[in-house]
Amino acid sequence: MSTTKKEYKRVTVKSLVDMKKNGEKISMLTAYDYSMAKIVDAANVDVILVGDSASNVMAGHETTLPITLDQMIYHASSVIRAVYRALVVVDIPFGSYQSDPKEALRSAIRIMKESGAHAVKVEGGHEIKESVKRILNAGIPVMGHLGLTPQSIYKFGTYTVRAKEEEEARKLKEDAKLLEKMGCFAIVLEKIPAKLAKEVAESVSIPIIGIGAGNGVDGQVLVLHDLLGITQEFNPRFLRRYLNLFDEMGKAISQYVDDVKTSDFPNDDEQY
């Protein structure tokens, strides 16, 4: 298997499948606004996910459930305006695709049309298959999401590792195969045992992107605010923080407050 990195002018759903074939790992990160998306895209992240984690990190909700379709479209269109290279995938939020396939298609179409996004992501397998089919039939690329699916948190009751038991692992493997067969272009596997994730990645031809699913998969995704250390209270084992931006930004802002209070800012060069 070759691991040569190919330069993609624009990452497409096809490039991702090629990356898997070539053994090139896929990098994916969330973004929810123009300024951050510009930085993430310039850093050559392959896939930008406008995740419904915006509900947590942008709006301060405890879960992803409250965010609306209109709010997701607002975030997605801000991201799209910043991006030149990455594939932009948008979460269809809770309540906008589970009740019936026609509603699912309407929601996906609104996201594509009103934001200019390149693909959508949905959580679940067999139980949402008619919705997935409907969206795919309209020519909209779909990314699946299995394992810990935060939109179902009240069913799970906890954010602990999923599919440790044989029955749930079996269903997850079947769901991954089903999503591949229906035509999904990739699947996110969240918080499941690394051994199971590797097995799934080896059993399908589409890329498997992990979050808390070990290193045997085809790529990794993290929430941008967690990677940068803007969030402080969320500390799962799988998270690697690359910065402590909460402290760094806090220091800069405190310095600004001091400079204003002491009349140090603005100085003679900083006025007209």
Binding region for ligand KIV (CB under 6 A) out of 49-57, 128-136, 154-162, 241-249: 49-57
Q: What is the DSSP letter of 136?
A: H
Q: Is residue 86 helix, strand or coil?
A: coil
Choice from 51, 93, 144, 212 touching ligand KIV (CB under 6 A): 51
- Unique residue bearing structure tokens 């220091």: 251
Q: Is residue 202 helix, strand or coil?
A: helix
CA dist 75 → 34, 55, 105, 221 (Å): 8, 11, 20, 18
Binding region for ligand KIV (CB under 6 A) out of 3-11, 46-54, 156-164, 233-241: 46-54
| Closer residue to ligand KIV in complex, CB, 52/218 | 52
Choice from 24, 41, 91, 175 touching ligand KIV (CB under 6 A): 91
Flag whether 46 is marked binding: no
190 is catalytic: yes
Is residue 188 involved in binding ligand KIV (CB under 6 A)? yes
Q: How many residues bind ligand KIV (CB under 6 A)?
A: 11
Interface with ligand KIV in residues 128-187 (CB under 6 A): none
Largest distance between two CA atoms of the chain: 70
Q: What is the DSSP letter of 85?
A: S
Is residue 221 involved in binding ligand KIV (CB under 6 A)? yes
Helix orientation angle between 166-182 and 129-137, rounded to the nearest 10 degrees: 20
Is residue 48 involved in binding ligand KIV (CB under 6 A)? no
Helix orientation angle between 101-115 and 129-137, rounded to the nearest 10 degrees: 40
The contact set with ligand KIV (CB under 6 A) reads: 30, 49, 51-53, 91, 188, 190, 211, 221, 223
